[in-house]
Amino acid sequence: GAVVSQHPSRVICKSGTSVKIECRSLDFQATTMFWYRQFPKQSLMLMATSNEGSKATYEQGVEKDKFLINHASLTLSTLTVTSAHPEDSSFYICSVGDRRNYGYTFGSGTRLTVV
């Protein structure tokens, strides 16, 4: 499977500020990347599908203007949480790969805490 690097692993920010999370595919040219959110002791919920060179596809209920996704190259997708609020505090995880290549590889996740 692919090798995925996610950065930062942990970030604390003040309410109202924006935070950018990077997801890099180190050895796989990813036309598609996926962003998930995970609350404590809950499963992963897909937020959006990031498409290289075009707009992201958001899942129902996910605010496009709050969670900005940019996928400018085949190796990098970024998720920006804009005007963050405490309820945005969560574990955000990206993934790369597809079902035809034996599954998906996940990044190590980013723990976001908004104070």
Partner 1 sequence: QKEVEQDPGPLSVPEGAIVSLNCTYSNSAFQYFMWYRQYSRKGPELLMYTYSSGNKEDGRFTAQVDKSSKYISLFIRDSQPSDSATYLCAMTLYNTDKLIFGTGTRLQVFP
- Binding of residue 42 to partner 1 (CB under 8 A): yes
Q: Between 4 and 84, whose beta carbon lies closer to partner 1?
A: 4
Q: Between 3 and 83, whose beta carbon lies closer to partner 1?
A: 3
Cβ neighbours, 10 Å, residue 72: 10
Residue span binding partner 1 (CB under 8 A) among the ranges 13-21, 66-74, 80-88, 106-114? 106-114
- Binding of residue 111 to partner 1 (CB under 8 A): yes
- Binding of residue 106 to partner 1 (CB under 8 A): yes
Cβ neighbors of 12 (< 8 A, separation 6 or more) are 113, 114, 115
- Binding of residue 58 to partner 1 (CB under 8 A): no
**How far is the CA of 79 from the CAs of 15, 55, 72, 96, in angstroms?**
17, 13, 12, 14
- Binding of residue 35 to partner 1 (CB under 8 A): no
Inter-residue contact 59 to 47 (CB < 8 Å): yes
